[in-house]
Amino acid sequence: MPAHIAIIMDGNGRWAQQRRRPRVIGHRAGARAVNVCIDFCLERGIAALTLFAFSSENWGRPEEEVGALMKLFINALDREVAELHRRGVQVRFIGERERFSAAIRARMDGAETLTRANHALVLTIAASYGGRQDIAAAARALARDVAAGRLDPDAIDERLFASRVALADLPPPDLFIRTGGDFRISNFMLWQLAYTELWFTETLWPALDAATLQRALDEFASRERRFGLTGAQGQPGAGAGNATTPDETPA
């Protein structure tokens, strides 16, 4: 069972276009699929779910589409946060929050504050997020510490760097899912996905159902995660100390 699932929710526009409807209708339908996914994780006891909702690059879409997405974002937060809180979900946001309007930022802050002590599921929404931007921000923070004399450059190793990227307090994703039929990462969690199992489906995001998510879990269960070692080293009795690289903890 994966402890942390990360998902690129892709295919909203094509789902609407197949129905000869404007793309925004697909985004609206996509909100329902988010709930399918959250229900699935809560039922299965999956500890963390990270959803890619809006990339740094998505700001470049037509103004009308970006505007519609922002409205949907506000509506979804107003509609869902109280219920998520009731169900014990901790809501977090990663990405360049300062690029959003004050109305959205206030809702993000409010949702985080309200749900911060919850533990049934850590739900992270990546919004105005980019993996390269995440890594650059970590490098900038470390450079600042070096410039201020607080940090020796020789102390910068993978472990320290990992502590400065997004979601540093969570285990890295065990399972990555992308809907929509494309086989790429699209600048999602580049650092964190180093040893994540990747799974792709043709299913368009608004059509997502529990059966599709279960197929991903079944496939995940059949994978052998080696973390650079040999298959034999990962077998029970091989010695826990040898079974994983220091920064990766297989579920």
Of the candidates 188, 154, 158, the residue with the CA atom closest to the CA atom of residue 248 = 158
Rule CB under 6 A: is residue 10 a binding residue for ligand IPE? Answer: yes
**Minimum distance, C-beta of residue 77 to Mg ion, in the bound complex (Å):** 22
Of the candidates 58, 145, 187, 247, the residue annotated as catalytic is: 58
Rule CB under 5 A: is residue 9 a binding residue for Mg ion? Answer: no
**Minimum distance, C-beta of residue 47 to Mg ion, in the bound complex (Å):** 27
**Minimum distance, C-beta of residue 13 to Mg ion, in the bound complex (Å):** 6
Of the candidates 35, 36, 34, 14, the residue with the CA atom closest to the CA atom of residue 26 = 14
Rule CB under 5 A: is residue 134 a binding residue for Mg ion? Answer: no
Of the candidates 76, 90, 95, the residue with the CA atom closest to the CA atom of residue 41 = 90
Q: Which two tokens stand for residue 128?
A: 């105005």
Name which of residues 10 to 49 contact Mg ion (CB under 5 A).
Answer: 10
Gap between the Cα atoms of 22 and 74, Å rounded: 20
> Based on CB atoms, which residue is closest to ligand IPE, 140 or 184?
184
118 an active-site residue?
no
93 neighbors 124 (Cβ within 8 angstroms): yes
* Residue 58 contact among Mg ion, ligand IPE, none, beta carbon within 5 to 8 Å by kind: ligand IPE
38 neighbors 231 (Cβ within 8 angstroms): no
In total, the chain counts a number of residues equal to 251
Q: Show the binding pattern over residues 177-196: x = contacts ligand IPE (CB under 6 A), - = does not.
A: ---x-x-x-x----------
**Minimum distance, C-beta of residue 180 to Mg ion, in the bound complex (Å):** 6
- Positions annotated as catalytic residues are 10, 58
